Structures are given as structure tokens and as C-alpha cells.
Structure 1
Amino acid sequence: MNQRETALARLERNRLLYLDMLEVLRRGTAQVRRAGEDGVLLYDPPSEVWFVDADTPAVLEEMLPLMEGCTILTGHQMWYKDTLAAHFGFHTEQICRQSAWLGGEPPAPLAFGGELRRLDRSWAVWAEAHYSHSFGGVSYMEESIERGMLGAFVDGQAAGFVSFHVEGSIGMLEVLPQYRRRGMGEALLRGAVALAMEQGKYPYGQVFTDNGPSLALQEKVGMTLSQELLFWIF
């Protein structure tokens, strides 16, 4: 087997945990920097993210020289989080669970008293202004719109949105305060899953472990949450 085939064989053993890595391989942007039965290292140039999967300290030690210039990474085993943070001098971390739609058909749309529409680039400034975890500025929102952003509208007024991050995950789900508790978040997440499947993407997201409402939303929609934890450090 070549490196890509070896990586896929390893990652498919736990599809839910590694769906983010499988997505960048599926779309053909990931570079396989190391692949074996005991771990896989990917680099995705569009997002500049390193994806780390290692079973043992020896495997991790083999990977470190390959990651020169790393500024952001996601790890799939918690045991080496602090080691990598110290090695690269990273100070910010996010602990997540992987969430994925594993059904063969997309979830049914949910009625919420409004409609979902695809947004165009003219909405980038508005979306950036209303996203509660904004980063990357208007240009990142423009790129997200190109990847596929859905807006929720009630009586012609924009009430929320959802899109895809550059590495492929469903994210940026935001409902404006005055429209919350109407099922709009669920409608947007269902719509994003359907859009991902329509585009041939793997429908997955990553949810912070301390975000109880978002974890509950994933389960309400029918997403499957990984038992294993992942982490981001940068």
C-alpha cells in the first residue's frame, strides 16, 4: 500500500474519531507526512492545520521533526497534548468531541416559522459582525460563504446562519438573541448537514466539551458524538 492507502486503513478503523482527517484526504488537499498502523500525520495547506494521530511516544518523536513551522494543530489522543504545546510554545487550547451525521440520508428539514437560504458574499460583513466567536475578519466570512453558508430568515429578516470552517467542519452556527428558543439552531444544523452531503463532504463538526447546549443540540438532531476527546492547540 502507498502512504495514502496506509493512512486510510488506519483512520477507517475509528471513522467517527478521524472523520476530520478523512475529510481532508477525501477532498485531496491533505499531504500525508507519515502513515503507519500506529499513527498518521497529515498537513492540510489550505487551512495550515496539522492533524496528529499517534499511539506511542516513539511515533510522536518520529513526527516532531516533520512538523517544522507548525502554528496550529489538532490531536486525536489527549496523552500528548501538553508535550506538543511545550514543544511548539503554544498557549491556547480547545478540547472537543467530534460530532458526525452517520446516516445514509440527510436529516429532514425542520419547520421553524421561516426559511433557510444560501447567502452570497454581500452578507460577509453582517455575518462577521454578528458571529459571537469572530476571528479571521470579513475575508474569512467571504471564504466561508464560498464554501456554503446558510442564513435563516423570519418574516424577511436575517435571524441566524451556519457555515463550514476551512478545514471542513460545520461551524459558525449563530442565532441572533431575539430569535433563540424557536428551533432555529436545530434547523440550521440540519440544513448544514444536508448541504455538506449535497456537496459530497463528510458532515461533521467539533464541539467544545464545556458547551452543554451545543452538545445537546447535536444529539437532538441525531448527530453521533465521539467518546474520545480531541484537542486544538495554537
Structure 2
Amino acid sequence: MNLDIDKILYADMQNALRHQAVILYEDERSLLLQDISSRLTYCTALDAEAAANMIGHIKDFDILVSHDEYCNQAIQQRFHITYENCCYHCVYIGHKRFFVDLPAGFHFAFVDERYMEDVIALYRKEMPELANAAYMRKAMDYGLIGVFHGDELAGFMGVHEGGSGSMGMLEVKDCYKRKGLGSALEKAVINMQLERGKIPYGEIFIDNTASLKLQEHVGLTIGDRLTYWFYK
């Protein structure tokens, strides 16, 4: 199946193929693949018949990401589950790196395990289920970009699933907000993804209007279709 028909919607699947994805099934109207490192399984189909046939090739999964209602219906019928989250894709479709300017006294550096306690405490407010050392260590190994005020970690952002997933984990301490640090961090992560040959994209929950506004402000394109997340 040609994923170029919607580069915004299929940014995650295209990135997975650039990473370590295995194609589990493919024909002209459907595609099923799994990213080896994250074990995220992705699926899409162009009609109900193609979706039903493709979903029949799923033997097991932890998290299944659907890109259309055809797959949603086939998944629900086979596994008797419904999706728990749905997201918009926000994609940087440019090719030029950003010039990133920080306020006086701030600088960028990769975050390492010396700051693990601070990272977990800050991220726990947003995503408590992911705020653990194992998950954040994968982000650090790939490149968790921090903005520092002296030696103090003021905020950070990285890439989910050890580099195979979407940009995210954007956190800025309350005392450093409204200084443009969030936008600066996102631009820095976009630059990192471009340097590594990845598609800079994020996944934003449909009710997170503040984050959607930030994506537009930075210059990302917000898709008009959703992805749907099913959990085993």
C-alpha cells in the first residue's frame, strides 16, 4: 500500500519503516506492520473488506494503532475491544532546520541519569503511567533534550518509544513558563529528528487544545484525520 497518499496521517508508519519495522501483511489496499523496539502495531486499510482480511493476520499485540474506521470496526469485531485514545498527527513537513534562540541564561544539553528524579517528578503530572526510570532511560539513550538555567533542569522534550515513536514528553517547570522554552524545545527536537533522517511528528489528544495551538505556532501541520489506540 502506498503511504504517500496521506503523509500526515501515515507519518508514524513511515517513521516505523525507517526504524525497525516488520511488515506483517501488505496488499494494494491495506498494510499491517510492527515496530520491533516499541512493539507498537500499526494498521490501515482503504475499505472494509481489506481491513477484515488484514486484521485476520494479527496473531498478538500489546498496542494496536488504527488509522481508519474500517480497521476500527474489524478490530472491534475480532478482539471485542474499543479504542481508548484518539489523536491528531502534527507533522513538520519542511526540510530546513530551525534557528533556535533561548533567553539569556538558558542553554540546551542532553539530559542524563543525573536528572532522572527531576524528569520523573515533572513528567508524572502529565503521564504518570510512563513516568518511570525504564521508559525515560530509553528516551535519554536516544536523546532527551533539556533546557537548563545554570545547572537546573528547566524543561525537556524527547521522542517516545526509545526514538521509534512520536515527539513528545514536553515539560517545562512552572517557574520557567511563558519564556518561549516550550517552542524552543520543540524546534530543537525537530532539528534532531531531521538530522537523524526521521519525520518530525507528534501525536496530540483531540482535547488538548493548548498543545494543538503550540504545534501550529511552531509551524507543524495538523492532520484532519485521527489515529485510534487499542490496548490489549
* Fold in common (TM above 0.5): yes
Identity of aligned residues (%): 29
Tell me which residue corresponds to 1:198. 195
Alpha-carbon shift at residue 85 of structure 1 (Å): 4.2
Tell me which residue corresponds to 1:3. none
**Structure 1 stretches of 4+ moved >3 Å:** 89-92
Alpha-carbon shift at residue 163 of structure 1 (Å): 0.8
Aligned counterparts of 1:174 and 1:49: Cα–Cα separation in 2: 24
Kindly tell me the number of residue pairs found equivalent between the two proteins.
225
* Deviations 1:27-65, CA, capped at 9 Å, x for gaps: 2x1111122221111111211111011111211211223
Q: Do structure 1's residue 211 and structure 2's residue 205 form an aligned pair? A: no
Tell me which residue corresponds to 2:39. 48
**DSSP 3-state at the match of 2:56:** helix
Q: Do structure 1's residue 76 and structure 2's residue 70 form an aligned pair? A: no
CA spacing shift, 1:91–1:78, aligned 2, 3 Å: closer
CA spacing shift, 1:47–1:175, aligned 2, 3 Å: same
> Does structure 2 retain, via aligned residues, the 8 Å contact 1:85–1:233?
no
* Deviations 1:183-231, CA, capped at 9 Å, x for gaps: 1110110111011112222111111111001000001000111111111
Aligned counterparts of 2:11 and 2:142: Cα–Cα separation in 1: 18
CA spacing shift, 1:25–1:80, aligned 2, 3 Å: closer
CA spacing shift, 1:86–1:116, aligned 2, 3 Å: farther
Note the 1:129-144 alignment, pairs <5 A: 129-131=121-123, 132-136=126-130, 137-144=132-139
Aligned counterparts of 2:21 and 2:160: Cα–Cα separation in 1: 15
Alpha-carbon shift at residue 86 of structure 1 (Å): 5.5
Gaps of 5+ in 2: none
RMSD between aligned alpha carbons? 1.8
TM-score, scaled relative to structure 1 = 0.89
Gaps of 5+ in 1: 1-6
Aligned counterparts of 2:13 and 2:43: Cα–Cα separation in 1: 9
> Does structure 1 retain, via aligned residues, the 8 Å contact 2:45–2:70?
no
In the alignment, residue 105 of structure 1 is paired with which amino acid?
A: K
**DSSP 3-state at the match of 1:67:** coil
Tell me which residue corresponds to 1:184. 181
Note the 1:8-47 alignment, pairs <5 A: 10-27=2-19, 29-47=20-38
